[in-house]
């Protein structure tokens, strides 16, 4: 277990240095991509198509990947375009930044176990041989998709990760697509993340990085009462999906998922220890890591014993900067509205105001020193 | 600091001796033997509610006493101040009346076959724990604390049982004895002022140690009332008139007469001493779920003084049963003197299992309490034992305590965290038992009974910086209620 935790944390730390694409540069993107695989399928007809999948968990020898059935077999059963499984000549499962070696199956060597989830569900569970320990597997959302933000008004943010097919339908990289959750019903989640066919079978995450759905198709807005002519992503909600496939998963699979939030909280606990013993450089490093894992502040973190505290990595990162006389960086972190909102009801808010005031004064003095007086110019 | 009586045993002994000391009939009173209670349970309402199973958790400032290595937990949460109020309700069981080692004679009060136990209640409350845990730079953690190791009061009145077979004149199969009716009071308090420190080594292993300055305040007094004259009417003969008078209050077969002119002897013990003790511990957090801990506490040794003096009805009013005072080295041909109260050493180990991100904890501790130290330097305070005292006749076994605790967070909000706790522990009998040939002493110093304690409690953390806990621990002999407050910084 210790080996496993260590193996999980080390690559995560390494992941933190991976540049992320687009808007998610300072958020969970690398971690979410690490959970997502690209699936390339070659057929006798000569074509190669790409889809995506999400790693639910892994044990000593296998990784369990959830994807859409049509990624391998084409259109859902019963439609005119369903592919014949015997036409598949090669399946390749690739991991983000080669976190694990690519797993390849061809007609001569069958190594991937495939479990269809019923006749009318576009789901497929793959179990592939894997010795490498992946840095992250999916953490399932414990709440209905979007329930947190809907209560606050506004559309919840979602992230889709999938294969960026590039030109010629050959998957080349992992794409990150942020969007909003537009609508949901018991069968599907509809979102505005701009997904392409390569996202098929790939994950849909909520703002905290929890898995909320599996992307299966794209639909026109007019069909869901949204803006006509606009394409929206369509995903299977993860709750019913898990109910369907749980029987094929090892008993400890969903308990052993490496939860992003847990890793973030564990890092935050270590960071709070650094704060407590006034090791400010270490506090800065660990608070920064916590933010990479879980940028959204708020929620209770268990520190130890009966001590719980609000998850405030940005506030404490600012504090670490402040204690190291780096007021500019401190003010930048404190300036984030989330921090102020999270602590506005407790005494830390008064401290924050005091620190900010001192920082502003310090910066003014530094600016005054830096700006030459008229006499000096002369 | 020589010649100390061990804590409970010593108190038993002293009280028992005082009560038991008597001339001639040498009736002693062991009623108070089972009365003394040391509070070896771990401080804190949270720990109390978890059955005292806290060695492998030790995650608040009470760790300073329980397992100082656990103080390193504070480096994650920060410094804290805690305060605990406790109330103890004791049920003191003693030999009240009856007849052992033979059947009742049917004369006077001697009509009860077997021993009947008496029971008295006492109640004590006070500030049982106060601490400041402080986190220093570089990961060192220190704590200052005050802890009430013992806080006990008892008051009993025994009617005096009989032992043996025969008549009051000494005729018969075995000599007939009447244990003197007695009135006893005891007030015992042991307080320690401690300083502990801890540091986390590599691999999640923490070590800690502490030193404590203990203060003892002990006062007891036992008055035994009895008219032992064979020639009760002082007419020069021991005849039927004397037998009739022996059935009157205060007589051999009569009900107790606790009036001053009937006072046969008085035993007192006094302790006003201080001593040093140490404790140490280790804590290994194997992973996020499991931790193990172990700790050792060395109990202090206190000097106490015991006295035996005959009363107006005694053999030599105003004089002791022997001109010689006992010491731990001189145990024969003496009575009373200077003894040593050994507070038993305690060592133990525990394991804790934490689940659900700290929401649920199950703890299990094993503690060995070296109660046998109580009789290590026992001194004689019984008149009947002046020439026959054998320390090895008195024994008390070390106790193997098993503690089990459970804690579950019921709900977590930004303003409130609510917790439920349950616990239980096995408290083996640890009263002083006389195993020698003397029947009256075997009647007085009888083996105790094992007990199971049940515990429960609730806790609240308010606005992340104030913790309030309440707990009860209940057994047939002791009921403890606790309320504690912890302020986080």
Residue B85: pLDDT over 70: yes
The torsion region of residue B250 among left (phi > 0), alpha (psi -120 to 50) and beta comes to left
- For residue A88, the tally of other CB atoms under 10 A from its CB is 17
For B195, phi then psi, to 5°, come to -135, 125
Run of H or E including A8:
helix A2-15
pLDDT bracket for residue A170 (50, 70, 90): low
| Coil, helix or strand at residue B314 | coil
pLDDT of A82: 59
For B111, phi then psi, to 5°, come to -125, 0
What percent of chain A has pLDDT above 90? Answer: 22
Nearest-CA distance from A332 to chain B in Å?
26
pLDDT tens digit sequence for A74-118: 765 455 455 667 788 999 999 987 788 899 998 888 889 888 876
Tell me if A279 and B137 make a contact (CB, 8 A cut-off): yes
Mean pLDDT, to the nearest integer, of A140-166?
Answer: 65
Calpha distance B386→B408 (Å, rounded): 57
| Strands, E assignment, B41-113 | 80-100
Calpha distance A138→A147 (Å, rounded): 19
Mean pLDDT, to the nearest integer, of B144-156?
Answer: 88
The torsion region of residue B166 among left (phi > 0), alpha (psi -120 to 50) and beta comes to left
pLDDT of B49: 96
Run of H or E including A33:
helix A29-35
- DSSP conformation class of B35: T
Sequential DSSP letters for B93-140: EEEEEEEESS----STTTT--EEEEEEEEEEEEEEEEEEEEEEPGGG-
Tell me if A272 and B138 make a contact (CB, 8 A cut-off): no
pLDDT of B226: 83
| Coil, helix or strand at residue A167 | helix
Dihedral (CA of B334, B335, B340, B342) sign = positive
CA B188 remoteness from chain centre? 9
| Strands, E assignment, A75-202 | 88-95, 103-106, 113-116, 124-129, 157-164, 173-184, 189-191
pLDDT tens digit sequence for B15-33: 333 333 222 222 222 345 4
Tell me if A305 and B77 make a contact (CB, 8 A cut-off): yes
Burial of A317 (0-12, 13-18, 19+ CB in 10 A): buried
Nearest CA in chain B to A301: B357
Which pairing describes strands B80-100 and B162-163: parallel, antiparallel, or unpaired? parallel
Residue A254: pLDDT over 90: no
Nearest CA in chain A to B486: A306
State the Cα angle at B370 between B364 and B371, rounded to 5°.
115
| Strands, E assignment, A139-208 | 157-164, 173-184, 189-191, 203-206
Shortest CA distance to B425 belongs to which of B353, B369, B486?
A: B369
B138 in contact with chain A, both atoms CB, cutoff 8 A: yes
For B348, phi then psi, to 5°, come to -170, 170
Contacts of A306 in chain B (CB under 8 A): 46, 59-60, 417, 419, 459, 461, 467, 486
Strand partners, A37: A53, A95
pLDDT bracket for residue A27 (50, 70, 90): low
Evaluate whether A314 touches A271 at the Cβ level (below 8 Å).
no
First to last CA, chain B: 42
B358 in contact with chain A, both atoms CB, cutoff 8 A: yes
B283 in contact with chain A, both atoms CB, cutoff 8 A: no
pLDDT bracket for residue A203 (50, 70, 90): very high
Indicate the residue of A262, A279, A308 with minimum beta-carbon distance to B417. A308
Tell me if B417 and A300 make a contact (CB, 8 A cut-off): yes
Q: Which of the pair, A309 or B15, is modelled with greater confidence?
A: A309
Tell me if B75 and A273 make a contact (CB, 8 A cut-off): yes
Residue B13: pLDDT over 70: no
Tell me if A305 and B73 make a contact (CB, 8 A cut-off): yes
Residue A275: pLDDT over 50: yes
pTM listed for this prediction: 0.66
pLDDT of B249: 86
Residue A224: pLDDT over 90: no
Task: Specify which of A349-353, B144-148, B231-235, B412-416 reaches the highest per-range mean pLDDT.
Answer: B144-148
What dihedral angle (degrees, nearest 10) is formed by the CA atoms of A155, A161, A166, A169?
-110
B59 in contact with chain A, both atoms CB, cutoff 8 A: yes
ipTM of the complex: 0.73
Distances (CA, A) of A141 to A207, A260, B4, B107, B451: 10, 11, 65, 83, 48
Evaluate whether B7 touches B344 at the Cβ level (below 8 Å).
yes
**Helix boundaries (H) for chain A:** 2-15, 29-35, 69-73, 147-152, 238-245, 260-276, 280-293, 313-323, 327-334, 337-343, 347-370, 374-377
pLDDT tens digit sequence for B296-341: 999 999 988 888 999 988 888 999 888 888 887 888 888 888 888 8
Sequential DSSP letters for B406-444: EEEEEEE-SSEEEEEEEEEEEE-----EE-SS-HHHHHH
Tell me if A307 and B461 make a contact (CB, 8 A cut-off): yes
What percent of chain B has pLDDT above 90? Answer: 36
Tell me if A300 and B419 make a contact (CB, 8 A cut-off): no
Tell me if A310 and B486 make a contact (CB, 8 A cut-off): no
B73 in contact with chain A, both atoms CB, cutoff 8 A: yes
Evaluate whether B120 touches B152 at the Cβ level (below 8 Å).
no
Tell me if A276 and B78 make a contact (CB, 8 A cut-off): yes
- Copy the structure tokens of residue B297: 């506490």
Dihedral (CA of B72, B76, B82, B86) sign = negative
Evaluate whether A56 touches A138 at the Cβ level (below 8 Å).
yes
Nearest CA in chain A to B57: A305
Interface contacts A/B by beta carbons within 8 Å: 73
Tell me if B357 and A302 make a contact (CB, 8 A cut-off): yes
pLDDT tens digit sequence for B269-305: 888 999 999 999 999 999 878 999 999 999 999 988 8
A interface with B, Cβ–Cβ below 8 Å = 1-2, 5, 262, 265-266, 269, 272-273, 276-279, 300, 302-310, 346
Q: Which of the pair, B61 or B402, is modelled with greater confidence?
A: B402
Tell me if A305 and B357 make a contact (CB, 8 A cut-off): no
pLDDT of B384: 78
B135 in contact with chain A, both atoms CB, cutoff 8 A: yes
Indicate the residue of B59, B138, B417 with minimum beta-carbon distance to A304. B59
Tell me if A278 and B137 make a contact (CB, 8 A cut-off): yes
The Cβ-side half-sphere exposure at B149, using a 13 Å CA radius, reads 26
Residue B459: pLDDT over 80: yes
Contacts of B135 in chain A (CB under 8 A): 276-277
Mean pLDDT, to the nearest integer, of A262-269?
Answer: 82
Residues whose CB falls within 8 Å of the CB of residue B318, separated by 6 or more in sequence, listed in order: B309, B310
For A194, phi then psi, to 5°, come to -75, 90
CA A98 remoteness from chain centre? 18
pLDDT of A14: 38
pLDDT of B282: 96
Residue B91: pLDDT over 90: no
Evaluate whether A105 touches A85 at the Cβ level (below 8 Å).
no
pLDDT of A346: 72
């Amino acid at each position: 277990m210790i080996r496993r935790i260590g193996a999980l944390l080390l690559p995560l730390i390494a992941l933190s240095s991976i540049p992320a694409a687009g808007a998610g540069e300072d958020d969970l993107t690398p971690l979410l991509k690490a959970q997502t695989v690209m699936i390339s399928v070659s057929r006798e007809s000569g074509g190669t198509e790409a889809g995506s999948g999400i790693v639910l968990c892994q044990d000593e020898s296998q990784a369990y990947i959830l994807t859409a059935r049509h990624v391998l077999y084409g259109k859902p059963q019963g439609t005119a375009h369903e592919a014949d499984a015997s036409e598949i000549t090669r399946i390749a499962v690739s991991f983000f930044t080669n976190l694990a070696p690519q797993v390849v199956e061809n007609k001569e060597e069958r190594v991937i176990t495939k479990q269809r989830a019923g006749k009318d569900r576009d789901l497929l569970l793959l179990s592939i041989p894997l010795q490498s320990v992946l840095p992250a597997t999916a953490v399932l959302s414990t709440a209905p998709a979007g329930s947190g933000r809907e209560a606050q008004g506004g559309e919840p943010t979602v992230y889709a990760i999938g294969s960026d097919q590039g030109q010629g339908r050959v998957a080349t990289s992992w794409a990150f697509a942020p969007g909003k959750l537009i609508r949901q019903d018991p069968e599907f989640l509809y979102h505005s993340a701009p997904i392409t066919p390569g996202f098929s079978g790939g994950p849909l995450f909520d703002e905290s990085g929890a898995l909320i759905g599996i992307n299966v198709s794209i639909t026109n807005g007019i069909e869901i009462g949204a803006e006509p002519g606009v394409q929206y992503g369509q995903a299977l909600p993860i709750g019913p999906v898990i109910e369907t496939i749980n029987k094929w998963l090892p008993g400890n699979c969903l308990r052993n998922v490496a939860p992003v939030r847990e890793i973030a909280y564990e890092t935050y606990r270590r960071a709070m220890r650094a704060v407590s013993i006034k090791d400010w450089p270490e506090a800065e490093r660990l608070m920064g890591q916590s933010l990479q894992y879980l940028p959204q502040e708020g929620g209770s973190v268990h520190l130890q014993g009966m001590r719980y505290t609000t998850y405030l990595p940005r506030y404490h990162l600012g504090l670490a900067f402040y204690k190291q006389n780096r007021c500019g960086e401190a003010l930048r972190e404190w300036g984030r509205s989330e921090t102020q909102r999270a602590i506005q009801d407790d005494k830390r808010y008064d401290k924050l105001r005091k620190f900010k005031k001192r920082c502003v004064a310090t910066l003014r003095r530094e600016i005054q020193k830096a700006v030459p007086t008229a006499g000096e110019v002369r | 600091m020589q010649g100390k009586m061990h804590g409970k045993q010593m108190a038993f002994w002293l009280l028992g001796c005082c009560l038991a000391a008597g001339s001639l009939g040498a009736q002693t009173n062991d009623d108070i033997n089972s009365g003394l209670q040391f509070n070896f349970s771990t401080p804190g309402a949270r720990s109390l509610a978890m059955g005292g199973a806290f060695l492998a958790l030790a995650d608040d400032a009470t760790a300073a006493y329980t397992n100082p290595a656990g103080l390193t937990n504070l480096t994650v949460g920060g410094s804290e101040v805690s305060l605990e109020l406790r109330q103890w309700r004791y049920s003191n069981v003693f030999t009240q009346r009856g007849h052992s080692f033979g059947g009742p004679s049917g004369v006077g009060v001697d009509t009860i076959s077997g021993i009947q136990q008496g029971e008295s209640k006492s109640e004590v409350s006070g500030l049982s724990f106060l601490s400041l845990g402080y986190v220093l730079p570089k990961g060192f953690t220190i704590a200052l604390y005050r802890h009430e190791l013992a806080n006990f009061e008892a008051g009993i009145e025994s009617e005096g049982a009989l032992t043996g077979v025969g008549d009051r004149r000494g005729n018969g199969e075995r000599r007939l004895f009447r244990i003197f009716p007695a009135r006893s009071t005891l007030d015992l308090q042991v307080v320690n002022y401690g300083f502990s420190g801890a540091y986390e080594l590599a691999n999640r292993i923490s070590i800690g140690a502490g030193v404590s300055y203990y203060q003892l305040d002990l006062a007891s007094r036992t008055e035994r009332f009895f008219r032992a004259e064979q020639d009760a009417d002082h007419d020069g003969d021991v005849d039927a008139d004397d037998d009739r008078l022996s059935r009157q209050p205060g007589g051999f077969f009569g009900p107790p007469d606790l009036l001053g002119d009937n006072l046969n002897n008085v035993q007192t013990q006094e302790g006003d001493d201080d001593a040093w003790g140490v404790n140490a511990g280790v804590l290994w957090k194997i992973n996020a779920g499991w931790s193990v801990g172990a700790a050792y506490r060395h109990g202090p040794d206190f000097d106490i003084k015991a006295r035996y003096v005959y009363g107006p009805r005694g053999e030599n009013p105003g004089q002791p049963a022997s001109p010689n005072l006992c010491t731990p080295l001189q145990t024969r041909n003496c009575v009373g003197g200077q003894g040593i109260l050994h507070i038993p050493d305690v060592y133990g180990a525990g394991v804790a299992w934490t689940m659900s991100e700290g929401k649920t904890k199950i703890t299990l501790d094993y503690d060995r309490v070296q109660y046998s130290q109580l009789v290590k330097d026992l001194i004689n305070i019984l008149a009947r034992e002046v020439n026959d005292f054998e320390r090895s006749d008195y024994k008390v076994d070390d106790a193997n305590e098993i503690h089990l605790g459970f804690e579950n967070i019921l709900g977590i909000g930004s303003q409130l965290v609510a917790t439920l706790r349950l616990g239980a522990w096995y408290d083996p009998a640890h009263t002083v038992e006389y195993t020698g040939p003397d029947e009256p002493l075997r009647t007085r110093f009888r083996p105790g009974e094992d007990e199971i304690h049940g515990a429960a409690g609730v806790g609240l953390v308010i606005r992340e910086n104030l913790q309030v806990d309440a707990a009860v621990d209940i057994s047939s002999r002791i009921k403890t209620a606790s309320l504690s407050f912890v302020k986080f910084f």
